[in-house]
């Protein structure tokens, strides 16, 4: 089950990768016309409308992205199946359709059906599309139906399954929707404390890859909160909207950067160069783009207590930003790019306060990380025991030697013959191996890998960072060359 949920999280990275384009367009549009939001400028209106074309279709993007990500191969058919499923479910369960089924006026239809076009349904449609593709892509039909054999039957089966699912959802969705709404209301009702609780849980769930499910409740329109969409569209409440995003900026732009510097300072003298290359690349990614996994996975499992401190500090940051108030938003993550683009967004409030707050959190992170590493002798990067790490064998990621790094990763996973399934997400190579005893984590660490995760016996996740695609491509070439 955990493996399946993690795979869903990986699949969500594909549609999420579309959001920065919307953020850039929104940011440009609001910078051009910060008062009229497009009413005073044709160029601003064009940018804002172009961005809304992406943001307004997040559920559909999820349906397509999840169906592709969960499929057994990268054929285009799963995307079509996911689209069919999404259109089928949202049409059959639209308010007008439900009113007809129930024989009542549209105004008397449960509110849940008015929110049927949401991220949750998009993900569900993607799962249906991918499952039908994986199960029926090789189906052979009698000669008189041969035209619909194989991949051509996938969309037909998907439509039937989606229709049956819609029947189930007709009875179940109102209860599910109400439960999500109540969960959201319970957090929203806590005000800034709720924002802090959410931010802390967001970081705590990252090792399991389940933070995406939590994000769907608060950032998108699954339960009516839609913090991300409302922030950029200007449809929220000024001073409230954005509170589930703002608290991440001081941490990602300042706190983790300072934490990385603290870990570098505490590295052994002979390993400072190695630690610097690893931590500098991670710190830059966190500050500039908001991608935090390279840093977080560098100490998440080496020093879990330190990671717990990080999660708590993230929650505190969210509470402080919510109380002041400060409101910033992002379409990708809480890095410098999104912070600047959100300055003129309709719901932005005191975005410049992120700087002094961030400086304070940088100091807190630096001193707490330094104190904890020294007191508990934590094995953060560059502090590994001599028998665990051979510095002279390091292959530095910063050198962009993707072929050499891919070879080390592949050899550490037992070679091409040991690879059962393999893929990649935003920052990790995910592999399923035939024989788990052939996985050599010590050898993998010699390549300067930020983190290695073993969610189950035969599954390994290798944290590479934002350049994971290039390492994966080289690894795939090595595997293909052995066939």
Q: What are phi and psi of 138, to 5 degrees?
A: -110, 20
Sign of CA dihedral 397, 401, 404, 405: positive
- From the candidates 47, 153, 328, 425, give the one annotated as an active-site residue: 425
C-alpha 409/C-alpha 387 separation (Å) is 20
C-alpha 374/C-alpha 356 separation (Å) is 27
Q: Are 97 and 42 in contact (CB under 8 A)?
A: no
Residue 290: closest CA among 356, 337, 355, 326: 337
- 3-class SS of residue 41: coil
C-alpha 414/C-alpha 435 separation (Å) is 8
C-alpha 192/C-alpha 199 separation (Å) is 11
Q: What are phi and psi of 424, to 5 degrees?
A: -145, 160
Helix ranges (H only) for 93-221 are 95-102, 119-136, 154-188, 192-204, 211-218
Residue 425 annotated as catalytic: yes
Question: Radius of gyration (Cα) for the chain, nearest Å?
Answer: 24
The residue count of the chain comes to 483
Residue 253: closest CA among 308, 291, 294: 291
**Which are the catalytic amino acids?**
425
């Amino acid at each position: 089950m955990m493996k399946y949920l993690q795979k869903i999280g990986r699949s969500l990275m594909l549609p999420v990768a579309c959001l920065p384009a919307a953020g850039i367009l929104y940011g440009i549009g609001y910078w051009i016309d910060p008062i009229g939001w497009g009413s005073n400028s044709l160029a601003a209106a064009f940018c804002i409308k172009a961005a809304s074309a992406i943001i307004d279709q997040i559920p559909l993007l999820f349906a397509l992205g999840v169906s592709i990500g969960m499929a057994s191969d990268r054929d285009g058919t799963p995307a079509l199946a996911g689209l069919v499923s999404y259109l089928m479910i949202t049409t059959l369960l639209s308010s007008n359709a439900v009113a007809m089924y129930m024989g009542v006026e549209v105004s008397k239809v449960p509110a849940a059906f008015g929110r049927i076009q949401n991220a949750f349904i998009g993900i569900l449609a993607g799962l249906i599309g991918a499952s039908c593709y994986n199960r029926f892509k090789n189906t052979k039909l009698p000669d008189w139906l041969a035209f619909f054999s194989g991949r051509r039957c996938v969309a037909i089966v998907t439509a039937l399954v989606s229709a049956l699912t819609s029947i189930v959802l007709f009875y179940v969705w109102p209860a599910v929707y109400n439960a999500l709404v109540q969960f959201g209301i319970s957090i929203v009702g806590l005000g800034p404390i709720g924002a802090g609780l959410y931010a802390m849980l967001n970081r705590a769930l990252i090792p399991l890859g389940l933070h995406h499910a939590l994000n769907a409740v608060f950032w998108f329109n699954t339960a009516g909160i839609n913090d991300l969409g409302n922030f950029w569209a200007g449809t929220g409440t000024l001073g409230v909207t954005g509170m589930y995003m703002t608290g991440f900026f001081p941490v990602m732009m300042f706190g983790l950067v300072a934490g990385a510097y603290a870990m570098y300072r505490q590295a052994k003298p002979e390993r400072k160069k190695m630690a610097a290359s690893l931590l500098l690349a991670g710190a830059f990614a966190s500050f500039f783009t908001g991608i935090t996994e390279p840093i977080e996975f560098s100490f998440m499992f080496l020093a879990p207590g330190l990671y717990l401190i990080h999660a708590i500090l993230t929650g505190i940051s969210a509470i402080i930003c919510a109380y002041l108030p400060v409101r910033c938003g992002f379409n990708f993550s809480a890095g410098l790019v999104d912070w600047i683009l959100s300055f003129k967004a309709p719901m932005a409030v005191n975005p410049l306060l992120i700087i002094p707050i961030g400086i304070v959190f940088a100091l807190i992170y630096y001193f707490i990380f330094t104190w904890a590493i020294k007191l508990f002798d934590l094995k953060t990067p560059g502090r590994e025991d001599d028998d665990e790490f051979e510095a002279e064998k390091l292959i530095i990621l910063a050198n962009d030697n993707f072929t050499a790094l891919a070879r080390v990763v592949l050899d550490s996973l037992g070679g091409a013959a040991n690879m059962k399934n393999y893929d990649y997400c935003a920052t990790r190579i995910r592999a399923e191996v035939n024989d788990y005893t052939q996985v050599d984590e010590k050898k993998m660490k010699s390549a300067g890998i930020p983190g290695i995760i073993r969610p189950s016996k035969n599954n390994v996740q290798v944290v590479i960072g934002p350049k994971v695609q290039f390492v994966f491509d080289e690894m795939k070439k090595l595997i293909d060359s052995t066939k």
